[in-house]
A and B are shown apart, each in its own frame.
Chain A
Amino acid sequence: MIMSKVKVILLTGRTIDQGVSKEHGKLSKEYQEKVAICEVDSSDLKNLTVIKGLNIKVITRFGSVVVKAVESSRGSHPGIAYMPYGLWANIVVDPHTHGTGMPSFKGISAELEAAPSENVTPIPLLLEETFRKKPQ
């Protein structure tokens, strides 16, 4: 069934690629390629009519961000999307700590929509646009 938006539970976390690429520098092309992504189940990608490698917009009630869609390669888990830790993911995570000090980085209600004509914003521009302060 083709849908304009797909509802998912968003998880953020570590990936081995994120860990390795941050050692090449957070401004490196490799870091953006490995971190500005969202792993999505193949059935959810089909519903969105998104081909893997094209961009999608991840939307929560806390914000939205454009990242590259990556087909999840392990097991079937429709309705679960995964983003590596990093600046892109933290724009959409749930900041509430419920008195513990810990925001909710996992298990966030989110929507995905196809964004083939939008680009992934690189870190310097994302910083300036999001926080209204010039990064250097």
Chain B
Amino acid sequence: MTIVKNVTCPICGTLCDDLELEVEENSIVDIRNACAIGEAKFLNFTDPKHRNLKPLVRKGGELTEVSLDEAVERSAQILTHAQYPILYGWSCTSCQAIRVGIELAEEVGGVIDNTSTVCHGPSILSIQSVGIPTCTLGQVRHRADLVVYWASDPYSAHPRHIERYTSFSDGRFQESEWEHYVARLQGVLGKKRLSRASARVLMREVSIPAIAGPKLPPEFETEKRKLIVVDVRKTRSAEIADFFIQVEPNRDFELLQALRLLVKDEELEVDKVAGVPVDLLEDVADTLISCDFGVFFFGVGLTMSSGKHRNIDAAIALTKDLNYRTKFAIMPMRGHFNVAGANIVSTWQTGYPFAVDFSHGYPRYNPGETSVVDILQRGESDASLIIASDPVSNFPRNAVQNLVKNPMIAIDPVVSPTTMMADVVIPSAFVGIEVEGTAYRMDRVPLPMKKIVEPPKTCLPDEEILRRILSQVRRIRQTGGKA
């Protein structure tokens, strides 16, 4: 049995790099330090029930097992003969594979877009528009005494983010608030038990006391490292926070702008903004100003609701305003483990981070026009290559209808609705488990992904599969399709 240390986790943009795996005869038998999602992935990825192991090509309406060479040849034929193919996904593969994908998109004159288009694409639009005062997660861990998660639920989407980088992490200049949280939690659980007991005795419903009331709690002032969650509903992360602010859906923009006014010592002539009392907002503004180093982590709750990139404009502008009073940074909570890498590789190769259109022979970028969801909804594309992603599950219905009606190539290690609807399926190896590579953490720090076990012989790395398709495309274009 071998223990492999310092393994980087291929799940979310937090890219935890302290995992320890026990490996026995090319099989991962145990895992330490991973979150629930990471553990589920490392211990289940070989399950044959949901693993693509054979190349498949749709013949007569049925996906039929073929050789890898035939699947590659069919993929190359589809891409070569398409007028306007889309190449989509990329956030769960390595930077090395993404680089080849961009070369392929340029060769076939297609559109290459990554999952940030339905994730933090609006954040990127905003950052391009107004800039971003940001930092690394290491700086947050060691120095941040105020952390605000806005429209983000790290407990669900980035389960170890709080533990590794914010309130529950032990930094050089900041201590973990874990013990304080446990004590508070015990108090809340005690109150809940009391409520349930009272309900049984009194035979009527007794309200469970909220962790956070309408005012900042008195002990909030004395907290060394404060955690605030702003969201439209109470999430698990909100329960961990020292204070939770519930904003009405689609009204984050107003709340952010109200805080900007208060930070600038302006007065608000209303009682509430977005459902939040102004008295409370004044206290929150004081808290933001009085910290030594604060950080906003914002989630897709801002990018996917009304206002989209304008919400991010307001959040970044608030951060900028706060930097006149104290030190503040802001960072998007990136989802897939290498979605930041997809943006970075795309930018250094093409000049643009996502939604890059090569149909004119040079890269063009105009989200709304060259973004895949818009292309699909207008019915403009006539073929697709999907890699390391499941748009059939994750795109709106009318976009998927246009995706599945045209030839679709899916390169993926796992069975998904996308591979089930594809016309060519090429099984691949898991990046960070069966093949090494590079990925970028949400703070744009590159980290190495390790190879832990050998992949099945039929599962090649994404980079190798894409190189084979690219080679075949070039051969077809040079020979006019002759062997």
In the complex, B300 has a CB within 8 A of chain A: yes
Given contacts A26-B393, A74-B238, A101-B371, contact A106 B249 (CB under 8 A): yes
Stretch at the interface among B43-51, B79-87, B264-272: B43-51
Our pick among A20, A25, A94, A135 for the contact of B421 (Cβ within 8 Å) is A135
- Provide the residues of chain B in CB contact with A14, threshold 8 Å: 153, 156-157, 335
Given contacts A95-B373, A101-B374, A104-B306, contact A86 B393 (CB under 8 A): yes
- Evaluate contact between B122 and A15: CB separation under 8 angstroms: no
Our pick among B36, B41, B210, B399 for the contact of A16 (Cβ within 8 Å) is B36
- Provide the residues of chain A in CB contact with B377, threshold 8 Å: 95, 97
- Which residues between 424 and 474 of chain B lie within 8 Å of chain A, taking CB atoms? none
- Provide the residues of chain B in CB contact with A97, threshold 8 Å: 368, 371, 373-374, 377
Given contacts A87-B417, A104-B304, contact A133 B404 (CB under 8 A): yes
- Which residues between 82 and 136 of chain A lie within 8 Å of chain B, taking CB atoms? 82, 85-87, 90-91, 93-95, 97-107, 123-124, 127, 130-131, 133-136
Q: Could you tell me the distance in whole angstroms from the C-beta of A40 to the nearest C-beta in chain B?
A: 11
In the complex, B75 has a CB within 8 A of chain A: no
Our pick among A104, A133, A134 for the contact of B305 (Cβ within 8 Å) is A104
Q: Could you tell me the distance in whole angstroms from the C-beta of B269 to the nearest C-beta in chain A?
A: 26
Given contacts A23-B45, A25-B49, A26-B393, 19 further A-B contacts (CB under 8 A): A11-B233, A13-B156, A13-B300, A14-B153, A21-B40, A23-B41, A62-B396, A77-B246, A85-B393, A86-B393, A97-B368, A101-B113, A101-B355, A101-B367, A101-B372, A101-B374, A103-B373, A104-B304, A131-B404
Q: Give me 26 A-to-B residue pairs in the complex whose CB atoms sit less than 8 angstroms apart, sorted by A's number.
A: A15-B156, A16-B156, A18-B156, A23-B37, A24-B40, A25-B50, A63-B397, A80-B232, A80-B233, A90-B393, A95-B377, A95-B396, A97-B377, A100-B121, A100-B122, A100-B368, A101-B121, A101-B367, A101-B373, A107-B304, A107-B305, A123-B417, A127-B420, A130-B401, A131-B421, A133-B421
